[in-house]
Amino acid sequence: MSVRVVVSGDGAICAAGKSPAEIWDAVWTGRPAIRPIQQWDASGWPTSLAGEIAGSDPRALVEDRKLHKLLQRSDLLGLYVAGRALDDSGFVAYREALDPPAAAAVNDRTGVYVGMGGGGYQNEYEFFPLLTAANGDLRTFGRELTATVHPMWLLRSMPNNVLCHIGIRHGLKGPNVCVTNHSASGSTALTEAAAALRAGEADRALAVGHDAPIEPQMVLYYHQLGLLGADGLWPFDARRSGSLLGEGAAALVLETDSAAADRHVRVLGEFLGSGCTTEAEGLLAIRADGDGLAGAIESALDDAEMRPADIGMIVAHGSGTRLSDASEALAIRRVFGASAPPVTAFKWAFGHPLAASGILDSVLALIALRHGVVPGVATLRELDPDFGSLPISAQPQAPRSDVALVLNRGFGGSNTALVLRAAASEAA
Amino acid sequence: MTGTQRRVAITGIGLVTPLGNDVAATWHALLAGKSGVAPITHFDASGFPVRIAAEVKELDPRHAIDDRKLLMLATRSHVLGLAAAEEALRDAGIRPEASDATRWACVVGSGKTGLGIGELGEVHRQCAPDGHFRPDRLLTNGFAMDPLAFYRSQTCAGLSLLLHRFKIRGYATSVHTACASGSQAVGMGMKLIRRGTADYVLAGGFDSMIDPIGLASFCLLGALSTDNETPQRASRPFDATRNGFVLGEGAGLLVLEAWDAARRRGARIYAELAGDGNSLSSYRITDSHPSGDGPIQAMRQALAAAGVLPEEVDYLNAHGTSTVMNDRSECAAVRAVFGTHAPQIGVSSTKSLMGHLIAGAGAVEAAICALAIHRGVLPVNANLAEPDPECDLDFVRGQPRVRRIRVALSNSFGFGGSNSCLALRNPDEVGA
């Protein structure tokens, strides 16, 4: 191994809280933040629950009011956590103390990797007044266009907005990617950020995942496709009936070990490796045997140069759908046999925040292992008997080591696995 | 991680562009200087301020892809991508097999997704006839939202179709950095092979925004040329009279392979994909820095990653959108990076003939660089009658230029400030 990649800062927001500490507290104390949707009156809807961020106006999270018109809800969340993570890492203060050429060099060597989710149907509704005026006539649509729709409409619609505005706001100018791969986006962004550091393309990188899928048309599509649970999100439970959408964002600051040592940074953990596979059977298809996910885990262990026995805790995807949880349990069994480490999952606490999942789960995994605990799945009443040997519990468990395996799955049969080591524990 | 860097070969190319529906037709039109820009035919654009675009012509999806079920899930952009991928794999002479499917990766720059005007119109009729959206009307009896619209609107929908069709089971992702998407995807593909994550990569980009919403979004920004009466002259990068870019559509897919394995199987290697540079301008959303800051770093990184000197570069496929600010910024960046060598580099923006393929542009232009190296010909920068004095590079004007290329660069700069530069090397230069 040449370059080690360490984690020096985090930021997160979701239904369960507006900081990693708040979210951790909700998870640790077993308080799910799944609630009736507030953004519109969904009381008569077939699915009216979601993991929505309370207080609901995320514009308050981004001070620069000029940006409010240019950003969608999901973008605001992403930009917010990016700032929090950079602050948390001490990066901003470090750069301020440098002379301008040195600061410019640091900016050129700091990458930005963002995973975003998609959606944004409501953004397209801004064409509704124009469609009304056009009344089915495209010529009128074309003629009335500039008088009716905001000139910056395209800029608000850009999938890479968070990347763009992190750059402008924080001056970061290194290598960058905006991953658009549904729920695998966040973990893929983290993987690419770490790869850039390992390859010497950057000394530091900010990895962000963000998503805000709770909008009427999206909720209804997910419902029609049978992906949503009736009354709750209960990972690995015998009574589980589907997932529930969540919203949120999370960010991690990564540095090479030498860049971190240069500025005497407090280290939260280390990125050890990752794996990514697809099942190639269609957008919604999931293989029942968990083959794709097992392959991702094996490839992540290879990348991290670890054996299954080295893993101390598994943060499962645990989306709460019948098929995903069942195939996930099989994948874990295939790799770990009868000796899997304690397994947990977090989506019961804040819903499924799609593209934000991978990094949000990573933030929480590192906190859990710094505390030396594996939080319970608070909603678990009766483990699905098919998963007999899976060491998952409603109660806290003791991790087997300071290394976490974080699993994520997305549309298109994407499976990702991340291997992370937590820094020495904070408290007993 | 090993210390030795694996070389990456480009062994397959597939193109569907406004100039032609495959590599041969595209290359032929490119050398003939035949423009793909014309009045819009996809829909009635007669009321729009811009009524011209570079459309892909006469593509029969069922001829390109013999899978009706798959096509039902595909947008036009996806069809273009599928057709180009089919050609790239055929051209490379290899396909993912059950035995090596997990060693195949796929990275694509896919365009902005969303609802098409038809689907949006349905929601409008049902939920917002007066322009004001009422969510409860989505629940109205008899109004079923089309689940296919959901499939097609997913950001990873195009990727998923490619994976499904070609049975690729390794690392796969789609990326989007606006006009840099396709180029970044190709660069990422190269890195996957270098770091050992994959042995083969299907990499590229596809996009089609020539629909009422897509065209509207660029008209609103005032970014497009309004030369509706002279479509073939409308895209004229680096010309003093240019007035905006021309929206195009298309796809470019490449097959990337570990060099040694490609050699062993006797593959035809168009070029080595030798380096990638990737920076963020962090300046303004749509503007480029007048000094070339941002693109400068991307080009320097690409040269460094490829291990080549500036003096070895013989051809630059410029981003060259045909907007004043962008063209000038790019020229400033080229001068800053190449100094006294800058006048020795043949430069052309092939957007002059095929318009701007947005998320597909960078991948198509990387493919053009590979073809230029392979055939020893530099395509023209068309429509350059009166060069902008601030753009004083050696543009390939009038006729294509026959010249052996040692190293070619392809620049792509996106809205949002992502800059991507790819460096391609002549295979005969490898190991010399």
Residue ranges covered by each domain of chain B: 8-113+154-429, 117-151
Establish if A78 touches chain B: CB-CB under 8 angstroms. Answer: no
Give the pLDDT score at B3.
Answer: 44
- Other C-beta atoms closer than 10 Å to the C-beta of A401 total 15
Residues of B designated catalytic: 179, 319, 356
Of residues B163, B9, B174, the one with CA closest to residue B93 = B9
Give the pLDDT score at B113.
Answer: 86
Instruction: Say which of A44, A146, A411 has its CB closest to residue B156.
Output: A411
From chain B, the residues in CB contact with A86 under 8 A are none
User: Nearest C-alpha of chain B: how many angstroms from A221?
Assistant: 7
C-alpha to C-alpha distance for A426 and A424, rounded to whole angstroms: 7
From chain A, the residues in CB contact with B150 under 8 A are 221, 224-225
Instruction: Say which of A46, A143, A174 has its CB closest to residue B47.
Output: A143
Please determine, for residue B141, whether its predicted confidence score (pLDDT) is greater than 80.
no
At A306-334, the pLDDT tens digits run 999 999 999 999 999 999 999 999 999 99
Hey, are the CB atoms on B216 and A141 less than 8 Å from each other? yes
Instruction: Say which of A150, A160, A280 has its CB closest to residue B418.
Output: A160
At B269-284, the pLDDT tens digits run 999 999 999 999 999 9
Establish if A105 touches chain B: CB-CB under 8 angstroms. Answer: no
Note the maximum CA span of chain B: 71
Give the pLDDT score at A119.
Answer: 78
- Mutant choice from B67, B217, B413 vs A, greatest count of A C-beta within 10 A: B217
Q: Judging by beta carbons within 10 Å of its beta carbon (0-12, 13-18, 19+), is residue B43 exposed, middle or buried?
A: middle
pLDDT band with cut points at 50, 70 and 90 for residue B431: confident
Q: What is the pTM of this model?
A: 0.98
At B335-375, the pLDDT tens digits run 999 999 999 999 999 999 999 999 999 999 999 999 999 99
Establish if B216 touches chain A: CB-CB under 8 angstroms. Answer: yes
Of residues A127, A119, A195, the one with CA closest to residue A159 = A119
More confident residue, B355 or A118: B355
Instruction: Say which of B147, B177, B213 has its CB closest to residue A163.
Output: B177
Please determine, for residue A161, whether its predicted confidence score (pLDDT) is greater than 80.
yes
Please determine, for residue B24, whether its predicted confidence score (pLDDT) is greater than 70.
yes
Mean pLDDT computed over A18-37: 97
Phi/psi at A86 (nearest 5 deg)? Answer: -65, -40
User: Nearest C-alpha of chain A: how many angstroms from B118?
Assistant: 10
Name residues 233-292 of chain B within 8 A of A (Cβ): 278-286
Establish if B226 touches chain A: CB-CB under 8 angstroms. Answer: no
C-alpha to C-alpha distance for A19 and A81, rounded to whole angstroms: 8
Q: Which SS3 state, helix, strand or coil, does residue A286 take?
A: coil
Mean pLDDT of chain A: 96
CB A216 within 8 A of CB A37: no
pLDDT band with cut points at 50, 70 and 90 for residue B2: very low
Judgement on whether residues A20 and A72 belong to the same structural domain of the protein: yes
Q: Among the listed ranges A387-391, B21-25, B102-106, B428-432, which one has the minimum average pLDDT value?
A: B428-432
Establish if A161 touches chain B: CB-CB under 8 angstroms. Answer: yes
C-alpha to C-alpha distance for A209 and A211, rounded to whole angstroms: 7
Judgement on whether residues A36 and A129 belong to the same structural domain of the protein: no
Judgement on whether residues A35 and A144 belong to the same structural domain of the protein: no
Hey, are the CB atoms on B212 and A138 less than 8 Å from each other? yes
Q: Is residue A428 part of a domain?
A: no
C-alpha to C-alpha distance for B408 and A68, rounded to whole angstroms: 41
At A211-262, the pLDDT tens digits run 999 999 999 999 999 999 989 999 999 999 999 999 999 999 999 999 999 9
From chain A, the residues in CB contact with B3 under 8 A are 2
Please determine, for residue B432, whether its predicted confidence score (pLDDT) is greater than 50.
no
Share of chain A above pLDDT 70, in %: 99
Hey, are the CB atoms on A142 and B178 less than 8 Å from each other? no
Chain A residue with minimum CA distance to B417: A164
Hey, are the CB atoms on B178 and A1 less than 8 Å from each other? no
Q: Is residue A410 part of a domain?
A: yes
User: Nearest C-alpha of chain B: how many angstroms from A91?
Assistant: 17
Please determine, for residue B91, whether its predicted confidence score (pLDDT) is greater than 50.
yes
Give the pLDDT score at A426.
Answer: 59
Mean pLDDT computed over A145-167: 96
Hey, are the CB atoms on B113 and A163 less than 8 Å from each other? no
Hey, are the CB atoms on B47 and A217 less than 8 Å from each other? no
Give the pLDDT score at A56.
Answer: 62
Please determine, for residue B194, whether its predicted confidence score (pLDDT) is greater than 80.
yes
Chain A residue with minimum CA distance to B192: A195
Please determine, for residue A427, whether its predicted confidence score (pLDDT) is greater than 60.
no
Mean pLDDT computed over A136-146: 97
Please determine, for residue A428, whether its predicted confidence score (pLDDT) is greater than 50.
no
Name residues 342-361 of chain B within 8 A of A (Cβ): none
Share of chain A above pLDDT 90, in %: 93
Q: Is residue A427 part of a domain?
A: no
- Angle (CA) A328-A330-A335 rounded to 5° is 100
Q: Which residues contact B176 (CB under 8 A, 6 or more apart)?
A: A116, A159, A160, A178, A180, B109, B110, B111, B112, B155, B359
Q: Which residues contact A362 (CB under 8 A, 6 or more apart)?
A: A187, A190, A250, A252, A404, A406, A418, A420
Rounded to 10 degrees, the C-alpha dihedral B37/B42/B45/B50 comes to -30
More confident residue, B28 or A425: B28
Instruction: Say which of B160, B222, B282 has its CB closest to residue A282.
Output: B160
Please determine, for residue A60, whether its predicted confidence score (pLDDT) is greater than 70.
yes
Chain A residue with minimum CA distance to B130: A132
Chain B residue with minimum CA distance to A199: B195
DSSP codes joined into one string, A195-245: HHHHTTS-SEEEEEEEE---SHHHHHHHHHTT-B-SS---TTBTT---B-B
pLDDT band with cut points at 50, 70 and 90 for residue A118: confident
Instruction: Say which of A139, A160, A201 has its CB closest to residue B416.
Output: A160
Share of chain B above pLDDT 90, in %: 94
User: Nearest C-alpha of chain A: how many angstroms from B63?
Assistant: 22
At B235-262, the pLDDT tens digits run 999 999 999 999 999 999 999 999 999 9
Q: Is residue A109 part of a domain?
A: yes
Mean pLDDT of chain B: 96
Name residues 182-211 of chain B within 8 A of A (Cβ): 184, 188, 191, 194-195, 197
Please determine, for residue A388, whether its predicted confidence score (pLDDT) is greater than 90.
no
Name residues 89-108 of chain B within 8 A of A (Cβ): 101-102, 106
Helix axes B117-127, B212-221, angle to 10 degrees: 90
Which residue reads 């496709």 in tokens? A225
At A176-191, the pLDDT tens digits run 999 999 999 999 999 9
What range does the domain containing A128 cover? 123-154
Please determine, for residue A425, whether its predicted confidence score (pLDDT) is greater than 80.
no
User: Nearest C-alpha of chain A: how many angstroms from B33?
Assistant: 31
Q: Between 3.30.930.10, 3.60.9.10, 3.40.47.10, 3.40.630.30, what CATH number should domain B8-113+154-429 receive?
A: 3.40.47.10
Judgement on whether residues A269 and A377 belong to the same structural domain of the protein: yes
| Helical H segments across A337-382, by residue range | 347-350, 357-370
Domain count, chain A: 2
**Buried-exposed string B127-141: b where 16+ CB fall within 10 A, e elsewhere:** bbeeeebebeebeee
User: Nearest C-alpha of chain A: how many angstroms from B404?
Assistant: 31
Please determine, for residue B1, whether its predicted confidence score (pLDDT) is greater than 50.
no
Hey, are the CB atoms on B173 and A179 less than 8 Å from each other? yes
Hey, are the CB atoms on B169 and A108 less than 8 Å from each other? no
Mean pLDDT computed over A87-92: 97
Q: Which two tokens stand for residue B126?
A: 């049902």
